[in-house]
Structure 1
Amino acid sequence: MSWNQQELTSSNHTNTSPNYNYIDYVQKPIEMYVFIDPLCAECWSLEPYIKKLSVEYGRFFTIRQIVSGQLSNLNVDVFEKPKKLKDIWERTAKRTGMSCDGDIWDENPIDYPYVPSLAIKAAELQGKKAGKMFVRKLQENLFINKENISEEKILLKCATEANLDIEEFERDLFSSSAKKALQCDLKLTREMEVDYIPTIVFFNQSVEEEGIKISGLYPYDIYELVLKEILQKTPIPSATPPLIDFLKQYEVVGTKEISVVYDWSLDKAEKEMKKLQFQQIVDRIPAKYGSFWKYIDTKKS
């Protein structure tokens, strides 16, 4: 694997993996390093494209999530200006369709950005799948619910929603293991010269060629094109699952995510979800921009 990279950069372009089965234990040719910050609105807005890539081409790649961003002095000047962050969140939500309520920076600002990043590494000590689910719950509580995810009670809430072992998570939260893991992520961020969040770096593990780095937020077809280039072939995308199965898997999804994954307009996605709401299959989650939907698991009722 080469650390050299071709780079595709964008700061202004606008527009996770399936449940484990045998394919998750097979060596996949592509590794995707996804550099995120839990407080980054564009990282949140990347979610629809990650989901679609996973649905269509997940049999070819694994995702390695790297926590970076504010902690490595990226955009630190922005973070120190809550009003500026609020404006960025609001613009991003309007542009991408993934709601992020900037009012939190007036009402309930994040005091300790280091803590949620450390919490992600603590969650990952319970496995990659647990770590990814925990990040998603952090994002939902932050961007939709305006929760202060630097507070321990909110972190424990996220851990519960992600089905983590809570006692283990509490022990690991400020442990040396979590701190070392976070430092490793920050070191990797520097080594791979990542200077914008989100960034994805694609590597083909079976050939000795340089990776391709995409900095910023792009439309889906760009990620698909890069994946095909690094894979060195044009695979047939897998069929999308039935909508109910998709909702069961991810539990909470946005109208934007559904529209991207199923190639529907936002209006069509909204109408399909309203049908399911009428059938009491999903609950609607109020959001400042767009809509989010929670699958109702009747087995838990």
Structure 2
Amino acid sequence: MSWNQTGLRSSKQTNTSANYSFFDFVQKPIEIYVFVDPLCPECWSLEPYLKKLSIEYGRFFTIRPIVSGQLNTLNKDPFDKPRKLRAIWEKTAKRTGMSCDGDLWIENPVSFPWIASLAIKAAELQGKKSGRIFLRRVQENLFLKKQNISEEDVLFQCAREAKLDINEFKEDLYSDSAKKALQLDLKLTKEMEVDYIPTIVFFNQIVEQEGIKISGLYPYDIYVLVLAEMLQKEPIPSEKPPLEDFLSFYGVVGNKEISVVYDWTVAKTEKEMKKLQLTQKVERIPVKYGSFWKYIR
């Protein structure tokens, strides 16, 4: 299914290769809608590819996360559901290399998932970039630390980690503005017939053409091919930043993310990160699968 773009702001292409493309530039030709559920392990597994796409081709596009998912059905089967979710998470972590600890659903289950989704929209009221960073912190606390992201204290901690204005965030959390924004996302999910999470939709904001929808996880090259089709030319990837710059920018990253971005084996990634650990530039985060690292600023 594809759609004509409507209501998207006009913009023009910016070619900036002197800086790293994961920094925010304005006026880009492509807008990418990423339909996500903060509790979805497949969405978490998309992170390495979104990072690489942003670093190599971020000068061509902006990312717009759309919060969707089955917000009201998670706890309808309180006895069997936790075991099923645990199995799904464990299987996804082993398959993708992005750790997500399924024990959460037994030890500290998320009671009201809609609150986490509402919190993401509240964070976005402080800017799209703030919203994206907050979403990432929510995912880290959920998948790596087994935190119940429907609890206010956990969400406030995520807001602090994302460097949001905490007082403003608290005021916005249950505000009409946040609720309306979430309803718009859910409406857009329905209108675009998104029935699988994650789904990515590419739009060209300059050339009038239909959007291209990709549902599920695909090899990285597929996303590049779609981007080239939308641009109507083959884009040249930007130079990758030094590893320390990458770590400094994102703060917390996994071995899988580093390996994908730099085209390294997991063994090479582990070797390079251990070097930085020895010089006390990073610290390892204890997780169930693989390795995650926190950059020490």
TM over 0.5: yes
Distance change (3 Å), C-alpha of 1:267 and 1:184: same
2:204–2:230 CA contact under 8 A, matched in 1: yes
- Is 1:212 aligned with 2:212? yes
Q: What's the offset of the Cα at 1:50?
A: 0.3
Distance change (3 Å), C-alpha of 1:234 and 1:225: same
Deviates more, 1:220-229 or 1:79-88: 79-88
Identity value in percent: 73
Q: What's the offset of the Cα at 1:166?
A: 0.2
1:284–1:294 CA contact under 8 A, matched in 2: yes
Tell me the residue number matched to 2:14.
Answer: none
Residue identity opposite 1:188 in structure 2? L
Distance change (3 Å), C-alpha of 1:78 and 1:186: farther
Q: How high is the TM-score relative to the length of structure 2?
A: 0.91
Identify which of 18, 23, 27 aligns with 1:19.
23
Tell me the residue number matched to 1:131.
Answer: 131
What secondary structure sits across from 1:257 in the alignment? helix
What secondary structure sits across from 1:70 in the alignment? coil
Q: What's the offset of the Cα at 1:204?
A: 1.1
Unmatched tracts of structure 1, length 5 or more? 6-15
What secondary structure sits across from 1:28 in the alignment? coil
2:21–2:57 CA contact under 8 A, matched in 1: no
Distance change (3 Å), C-alpha of 1:139 and 1:186: same
Q: Deviations over 1:66-109 (max 9, x none)?
A: 00011376x88799712111111111100000000000000000
Moved segments of 4+, more than 4 Å: 75-80
Q: Deviations over 1:103-126 (max 9, x none)?
A: 000000000011000000000000
Residue identity opposite 1:201 in structure 2? V
Tell me how large the CA RMSD over aligned residues is.
1.8
Tell me the residue number matched to 1:257.
Answer: 257
1:17–1:51 CA contact under 8 A, matched in 2: no
Tell me the residue number matched to 1:56.
Answer: 56
Q: What's the offset of the Cα at 1:194?
A: 0.3
Counterparts of 1:157-236 in structure 2, within 5 Å, are: 157-236=157-236
Q: Deviations over 1:229-272 (max 9, x none)?
A: 11111111001000000001000000000000000011111110
Unmatched tracts of structure 2, length 5 or more? 6-19
Residue identity opposite 1:258 in structure 2? I
Residue identity opposite 2:264 in structure 1? W
Q: Deviations over 1:42-65 (max 9, x none)?
A: 000000000000000000001111
| Distance (whole Å) between structure 2 residues aligned to residue 71 and residue 225 of structure 1 | 32
| Distance (whole Å) between structure 2 residues aligned to residue 91 and residue 78 of structure 1 | 21
| Distance (whole Å) between structure 1 residues aligned to residue 41 and residue 168 of structure 2 | 29
Q: Deviations over 1:5-44 (max 9, x none)?
A: 9xxxxxxxxxx97233xxx12x211110000000000000
Tell me the residue number matched to 2:34.
Answer: 34
Residue identity opposite 1:18 in structure 2? F
Tell me the residue number matched to 2:13.
Answer: none
Q: What's the offset of the Cα at 1:161?
A: 0.2
Tell me the residue number matched to 2:148.
Answer: 148
Q: Deviations over 1:196-224 (max 9, x none)?
A: 00000001112221111000011111111
Tell me the residue number matched to 1:95.
Answer: 95
1:78–1:84 CA contact under 8 A, matched in 2: no
1:72–1:186 CA contact under 8 A, matched in 2: no
Deviates more, 1:61-70 or 1:201-210: 201-210
Tell me the residue number matched to 1:13.
Answer: none
What secondary structure sits across from 2:71 in the alignment? helix
| Distance (whole Å) between structure 1 residues aligned to residue 219 and residue 141 of structure 2 | 25
What secondary structure sits across from 2:112 in the alignment? coil
Tell me the residue number matched to 2:279.
Answer: 279
| Distance (whole Å) between structure 2 residues aligned to residue 67 and residue 28 of structure 1 | 22
Distance change (3 Å), C-alpha of 1:256 and 1:78: farther
| Distance (whole Å) between structure 2 residues aligned to residue 231 and residue 283 of structure 1 | 40
| Distance (whole Å) between structure 1 residues aligned to residue 194 and residue 57 of structure 2 | 25
Q: How high is the TM-score relative to the length of structure 1?
A: 0.90
| Distance (whole Å) between structure 2 residues aligned to residue 17 and residue 153 of structure 1 | 34
2:4–2:210 CA contact under 8 A, matched in 1: yes
